[in-house]
Structure 1
Amino acid sequence: MTPDELQSLIEDATADYAVGETEAALAKLGRATSAAPESFEAWHALAEVNFSLRRLDDALAAAERAHALRPGDLFINTTLSRIWMERGDKARAEHFGAQAKIQSWKEQLKNPSGDS
Structure 2
Amino acid sequence: MSDTSLQDQIDDATFDFAIGENDSALAKLRSITGSHPDSFEAWHALTEVLYASEDYDAALGAAETAHKLRPDDIHINTSLSRIWVERGDKDKAEHYGAQARMLGWKEELKSPPQKDEL
Q: Distance in 2 between matches of 1:3 and 1:65?
A: 26
In terms of Rg, which structure is larger? 2
Q: Distance in 2 between matches of 1:44 and 1:95?
A: 19
What amino acid sits opposite 1:24 in the alignment?
Answer: S
Deviation at 1:3, TM superposition (A): 9.7
Q: Distance in 2 between matches of 1:21 and 1:42?
A: 17
When the two chains are superposed, the root-mean-square deviation of aligned CA atoms in Å is: 1.6
Number of the residue aligned with 1:25: 25
Q: 1:23 to 1:108 in 2, by over 3 A?
A: same
Number of the residue aligned with 1:102: 102
What amino acid sits opposite 2:23 in the alignment?
Answer: E
Number of the residue aligned with 1:9: 9
Number of the residue aligned with 1:80: 80
Q: 1:3 to 1:37 in 2, by over 3 A?
A: farther
Deviation at 1:13, TM superposition (A): 0.4
What amino acid sits opposite 1:102 in the alignment?
Answer: M
Number of the residue aligned with 1:56: 56
Q: Distance in 1 between matches of 2:2 and 2:106?
A: 32
Please tell me whether residue 34 in structure 1 is matched to residue 29 in structure 2.
no
Q: 1:86 to 1:14 in 2, by over 3 A?
A: same
Deviation at 1:4, TM superposition (A): 5.6
Gaps of 5+ in 1: none
Q: Distance in 2 between matches of 1:3 and 1:88?
A: 43
- Structure 1 segments, 4+ long, off by >4 Å, are 1-4
Number of the residue aligned with 1:46: 46
Could you list the per-position Cα deviations for residues 73-115 of structure 1 after superposition, in whole angstroms to 9, with x for gaps in the alignment? 000000000000000000000000000000000000001447x
- What is the TM-score of this pair, normalised by structure 2? 0.92
Gaps of 5+ in 2: none
